[in-house]
Amino acid sequence: MPKAEESVLEIDLNALAHNFKTIKSQLSPGVKFMSVIKAYAYGNDSVAMAKKLEELDTDYFAVAYTEEGIKLREAGVSKPILILHPQPVNYPEIIENCLEPNLYSARTLQLFIDIAEKQKQKNYPVHLKFNTGMNRLGFTETNYHHIPEKIGKTESVKVVSAFSHLAASEDWKEREFTLSQIYKFKDLAGKLIDDIRYEPLLHLCNTSAIFNYPSATFSMVRSGLGLYGFANDPNLDEKLKPVGTLKTVISQIQNLKEGDTVGYSRAFKAEKITKTATIPIGHADGIKRIYGHGKAGVFVNGEYAPIVGNVCMDIIMIDVTHIDCQEGDEVIIFGGPQHVTKLAGAGGTISYELITGISQRVKRVIIQ
């Protein structure tokens, strides 16, 4: 890999392929794979990821918002794309771009049917979401009856899948709750099949559930985090390869005497002779202020260098007193010696938030 000469997020497509195949190998033959590439493929690059995943023969894509789906279509992505969280205002664009909406309530189902009918659509593919305990989106047992009532009266839409989402698939302490969600889903899916008299795809598992509840994969799974190399569990993380490595470079070295201070609010005060390095990355790039004051660090020439003082918008200072290094040397923020989960933990957050938070101004470099 080339040495970083500025802040870059390196994206390793071979790692993505490894993760896709590893997760796929957990599934029974015939179970379909939906690749979740919302939020720029968790901060990576949704178009590059989608192209590679199409090559690997993923069956489906999912993104959160309509705009994300349109961007993929404009880049030539042709596999079906589920929009997980659309709003009715988006429906015309969804149809225009051959995207497939998640309809999660009587209101959204009716509004989509109205538009599809007005456009004289036949069997337009839609997905129905059940709320089995997450209490975020979806039809419950109580309002399920709207589905057969509305779907039975129209030929404009076809239910291509029904799904639900688990609230705690990574947490063994919540096993009983997760099992109750699985039973509820089975029950609602059974009702749906009886009512519409055909069998749509059924999917419930996210990455952690694929590993922790292998008998609940139904006919499709939805994996996001695992594709990018993490699975909320150190043992599972070992099977996967992190796709992204966030690197930067030393801009300048400062030699401090006792009593010198560093950065805004003079937040770091040297108690002895100290050598710091200044690096071109900051909270506007997604490395939040919480990581300052030694809470977290980065790696320089294989050695750990804690962050000193406050994280600035575009700059961070690190303590390299004990590291043999010079201006122009590479710095690793995460990837390689620094696991994303560990860095996220140091800031009191989770891998999902850290990687999706790397802002778009950080250059993405795709490694084939």
Between CA 112 and CA 148 the distance in angstroms is 15
Task: Tell whether residue 296 is a contact of ligand PLP (CB under 6 A).
Answer: no
Between CA 123 and CA 159 the distance in angstroms is 8
Closest distance to ligand PLP from the beta carbon of 100 (Å): 14
Q: Which is nearer to ligand PLP, 213 or 268 (CB)?
A: 213
Task: Tell whether residue 165 is a contact of ligand PLP (CB under 6 A).
Answer: yes
184-218: b (≥16 Cβ within 10 Å) or e: bbbebbebbeeebeeebbbbbbbbbbbbbbeebbb
Beta bridge mates, 158: 125
Closest distance to ligand PLP from the beta carbon of 82 (Å): 9
Residues of each annotated binding site? 136, 313
Q: Which stretch binds ligand PLP (CB under 6 A): 7-15, 139-147, 219-227, 288-296?
A: 219-227
**Annotated active-site positions, please?**
38, 264
Q: Which of 7, 121, 223, 276 binds ligand PLP (CB under 6 A)?
A: 223
Distance set, CA 14 to CA 17, 222, 223, 327 (Å): 5, 20, 17, 31
The DSSP secondary-structure symbol of 236 reads: H
For the beta carbon of residue 221, count every other beta carbon within 10 angstroms: 28
| # residues near ligand PLP by CB under 6 A | 12
Q: Which stretch binds ligand PLP (CB under 6 A): 109-117, 211-219, 222-230, 324-332?
A: 222-230
Task: Tell whether residue 127 is a contact of ligand PLP (CB under 6 A).
Answer: no
Q: Is the alpha carbon torsion for 344, 242, 202, 69 positive or negative?
A: positive
Closest distance to ligand PLP from the beta carbon of 137 (Å): 8
Closest distance to ligand PLP from the beta carbon of 259 (Å): 48
Task: Tell whether residue 121 is a contact of ligand PLP (CB under 6 A).
Answer: no
Q: Which is nearer to ligand PLP, 154 or 206 (CB)?
A: 206
Find the binding residues for ligand PLP in span 15-44 (CB under 6 A): 36, 38
Between CA 96 and CA 94 the distance in angstroms is 6
Q: Which of 58, 156, 207, 310 binds ligand PLP (CB under 6 A)?
A: 207
Tell me the two tokens of residue 74. Answer: 């404009």
Between CA 338 and CA 2 the distance in angstroms is 18
- Residues of the shown chain interacting with ligand PLP in the complex, contacts defined by CB under 6 A: 36, 38, 84, 165, 206-208, 222-226
